[in-house]
Structures are given as C-alpha cells and as structure tokens.
Amino acid sequence: MGLYTLAVTLLCTVLLPVLLLLAAAKLWEVLVVRGRDPACPSPLPPGTMGMPFIGETLQLILQRRKFLRMKRQKYGFIYKTHLFGNPTVRVMGADNVRQILLGEHRLVSVQWPASVRTILGSDTLSNVHGAQHRNKKKAVVRAFSREALQHYVPVIQEEVRGALRDWLRRDPCVLVYLEMKRLMFRIAMRILLGFEPDQIRTDEQELVEAFEEMIKNLFSLPIDVPFSGLYRGLKARNFIHSKIEENIKKKIQDDDCERKHKDALQLLIENCRRSGEPFSVQAIKEAATELLFGGHETTASTATSLVMFLGLHSEVVEKVREELQEKEEMGLYSPGKTLTMELLEQLKYTGCVIKETLRINPPVPGGFRVALKTFELNGYQIPKGWNVIYSICDTHDVAEVFPNKEEFRPERFMAKASEDGSRFNYIPFGGGSRMCVGKEFAKVLLKIFLVELSQHCNWTLLNGPPTMKTGPTVYPVDNLPTKFSSRVSN
C-alpha cells in the first residue's frame, strides 16, 4: 500500500506536471505552425518558437547578442522565432533586407512591439502610416534642413567643449558611456525641444534617470502590472511627459512665430495646428519624447563607440588631425573658431571614421515590420500577420563587400558607394521610406564631437576593448572607463 501511495504521489507531483508541460509545448508548436498559409507552397523558415506564450522573449532580453549569434549560426539568414507575444521571422543579408525595406506598404508595414507602442505612443512618427506618416515626417524633416543644422552647430560645439573641459578635470577616469548620454541628452533638449540651459540643469538628473528607466523597459513583456517592466517604463515616461508639457505650454504662450529659427518642438506644434485636427498636447508630448529618444540615445551609443575605436587605433586619430591641419592651412579651419557646415562637409576622412564606426557598431540593431500579406522570401513563406525583424547588425556582419570586416578601416569608405542593390549591405539608418529622418543631424553632431575630441584631447581606455551589449542600443558593459588628458595642438 505504501509503495502504491508513493507511486501515485510521484505521478501527481512530478511526472504529470512534466507531461502537461510537454503537451502544452507540443500544442504551442502545432498552433504556431498552423499560422502557415496553406495557399503558399513554400515552407516556413527554420527555427524554434520557444515556450508557450512567452516564446523566446526572455532568452533575447537576457542574452541579446549571444542569443542572436547562436540563432544565425544554427538557422542562417532567415529564421522563425516567437518574440514579444508574436510569431516572428528574423531577416538579414542585403538581398533579403532590400526586399523588406522596399516592400513598405506593399508587403510589410512598420509595427513595433506592443510595449514600445504603449510607452512611446501609437501615433508617433515611427508607428503611423500613409498620409499621417508623410505629414508628420514633413514637419520633422524641416527641423533637420541644412539651414537648421547650421543654426545648431554653435550650440553643439558649446556643449561638447563644456563636456570635454569637465572630462579633462576628472581624476582618475571618466565613465564615457554615462557621460556621453548626459551630453547628448543636453544637446537634444536644447536643439530639438528648445529647453534653456538653466531649465536642463535644474531637472537634468531626474530626467536622465527617467529616460534610462523608460529605455530599459521599452522592449518588455506587454503586461502592465505593478513592478513589471512595462509598468516601470510607463511611470518614467509620465514624468518625462510632465516636464515636456511645461515647455509646450510655455511655447504656446510665447508664440514665437516671428523667430527666424524654430526648434523641432515648435515645428510640431505648428504642424498640429495646420492639420485641422483638434490640438492634442498628448500627441505633441509623444512626438517630443520620440525625438528625444532618437536624438540622444543613438548618438550617445555611436559617440561612445568612436571614443572606443579611436582609443584602440591611434593611427586613425592622427589621420583625423592631419585632415584638420590641411583645412587649417587652407584657411578653412581654426581650432578656436565656430565650425561651419561647409567645413564639416569637406572632412571626408572624418566622415569615413564615423561610417566605419556605424558599420561595426550600429546603435540600433534592427527594425520591426508586420507582414501585410503572405509572401515568399528566398524560398520561405512569411505568413500574413507575422512580425518581421530586419537585422542591421547581422546584415553588416555577413556583408561580403567589406573585406577583412573585423578590422577597423575607415578608408574603405573613401571609394564612391555603389548605387545598386548592394547598398543594402550598409544600413545603419535603415532604408526605404522609413529611413531615419535625423541621420544628417546625427552625422553633423558626431563630426563636431570628433573634431573637438581629436583637437583638444588625448585619451586611454583603462580596461582595453570592452564587451558590448544591446539594450536597446549598443553600449559597453563597463561604461568605457577612460583617462583624458589635454593635448597641445602643434
């Protein structure tokens, strides 16, 4: 009797739950595979769907690059998975990505995970479609015109010089990534949202911490309960919105329509009024938050990578300095003067350094789409309704047009870029109609930073080459501790 009771207890407490779990996993796999379109003869891509309902989201969040590298090595350039509550196909390689990026509105449409849409807002530029997208994009593009960029140059230069002076006073080291996020945040607040320096200093610490919390939880399970990632992200977002709303009200009261230059926030307010729709402060807050995210998080990531790569390649720093010396001898540049767009556009090698940095460490690893209809991609079917993630970092990694791709060689970009389909081997700003609207702003900002850094500083990476992670942008896990020293120009 005792053995029988023990066996029943063992069956109920151990074997039965295991069998139920295996049955649930099998049922999950069957249900997902049923998403296959029977009208399409092509098979689904290879891959696994993970645990019921959760899929492989936790592995991605916890392992990031390791998880993605393992998947690519096992399944190739196109594979299926289940992320953020949806069956998903991950795509890489120039030809495959080209079909996705040029298939906007025909094969696919932008659709970020539910957590991103909830936190940033479903009516932001990155989430809207059709005429609404074109209208919003037109307003934002005005803020990044060449004339506007020239107006931003002195502000960027002032903030960069102030940060470098502070770093030179630090002893024994600067945690570059943390400081870079503060620098790029101040620049974005001033240029994009028109905050005054005193306003930023008052709220900087709280705002930076809130942005950290919001960004950390952008890609989370879509469950809004106390202490969940989505809950924490929304709480941080609400604080940011409250500060932006104060500035919106101030701009509406001041009504600066007569000013020659208008920041992006003013242009968004004007566009909202012209659209004929009811004026929505909430919509403006969401648009401003998206601008801040795109305008400082990605540039902070790339500027940190610049410090890292140039700290490891002193010969590249010397070539940047030689290019500046040439412009100085031509009377186009003076270390003490305000930079101009004309000069920045002529710094070809400096631009190549930034391009090479973006090739190896693109700040945004990829983009999200949803299949509008079932279509074929390189012999596999992508079912209607499935999410599609195109990978920027993997596409750069597998591009055969870059010989010795593991080496940091800016001169590879000195040759004229190809205009055919192979241009999709290099997509740090995305492509197609959804290409990053702020890419020229980012290039100008990064060039100014690189010019000032190379002219005024020498630096040493105290921990050597760091381990890089993604969450959601690329960053060094040790925050890149660096020793800066003053450089006397020759």
State phi, psi for 485 to the nearest 5 degrees.
-135, 155
Q: From CA 125, how far away is CA 133, in angstroms rounded?
A: 6
pLDDT of residue 490: 45
Which residues share a beta bridge with 81? 88
Q: Is the pLDDT of residue 21 over 90?
A: no
- Residue 160: pLDDT band (50, 70, 90) is very high
**Chain center to CA of 392:** 10
Q: What is the pLDDT of residues 55-90, one digit of tens each?
A: 898 888 777 778 888 999 999 999 999 988 889 999
Domains in the chain, please, with CATH? Answer: 35-486 (1.10.630.10)
Q: Is the pLDDT of residue 267 over 80?
A: no
- Residue 477: pLDDT band (50, 70, 90) is very high
pLDDT of residue 63: 77
**What SS3 state is found at 331?**
coil
Tokens 């040493």 belong to residue: 460
Query: Ranked by mean pLDDT, which of 229-238, 267-276, 348-357 comes out on top?
Result: 348-357
Other Cβ atoms closer than 10 A to 326: 14
Q: From CA 181, how far away is CA 202, in angstroms rounded?
A: 17
What is the pLDDT of the chain when averaged over all its residues? 86
Residue 243 vs residue 304, higher pLDDT: 304
Q: Is the pLDDT of residue 153 over 60?
A: yes
pLDDT of residue 301: 95
**Chain center to CA of 167:** 25
**What SS3 state is found at 116?**
helix
Q: What is the pLDDT of residues 378-411, one digit of tens each?
A: 999 999 999 999 999 999 999 999 999 999 999 9
- Residue 420: pLDDT band (50, 70, 90) is very low
Q: What is the pLDDT of residues 87-110, one digit of tens each?
A: 999 999 999 999 999 998 899 998
Tell me the H-state helices in 330-374: 341-346, 348-360
Q: From CA 268, how far away is CA 284, in angstroms rounded?
A: 7
pLDDT of residue 79: 96
Whole-model pTM?
0.86
Residues contacting residue 205 through CB under 8 Å, at least 6 positions apart: none
Report the percentage of the chain scoring pLDDT > 90: 50
Q: What is the pLDDT of residues 180-209, one digit of tens each?
A: 999 999 999 888 888 888 777 778 888 888
pLDDT mean over 268-297: 78
pLDDT of residue 186: 92
**What SS3 state is found at 83?**
strand
What one-character-per-residue DSSP string does 177-208 give?
HHHHHHHHHHHHHHHTT---HHHHHHHHHHHH
- Give me the amino acid identity at 389: I
293-297 own/partner pairs: CB under 8 Å, 24+ apart: 293/120, 293/211, 293/215, 294/436, 294/438, 295/184, 295/187, 295/188, 295/191, 295/192, 295/438, 295/441, 296/181, 296/184, 296/185, 296/187, 296/188, 296/211, 297/181, 297/184, 297/211, 297/215, 297/363, 297/473
Q: Is 95 exposed, middle or buried (0-12, 13-18, 19+ CB in 10 A)?
A: middle
pLDDT of residue 57: 84
Other Cβ atoms closer than 10 A to 65: 16
Q: From CA 381, how far away is CA 92, in angstroms rounded?
A: 15
State phi, psi for 73 to the nearest 5 degrees.
-65, -35
pLDDT of residue 195: 83
State phi, psi for 336 to the nearest 5 degrees.
-90, -5
Residue 321 tokens read as: 């300095």
Q: Is the pLDDT of residue 354 over 80?
A: yes
pLDDT of residue 140: 80
Q: Is the pLDDT of residue 6 over 70?
A: no
436 belongs to an annotated ligand binding site: yes
pLDDT mean over 237-242: 92
pLDDT of residue 66: 83
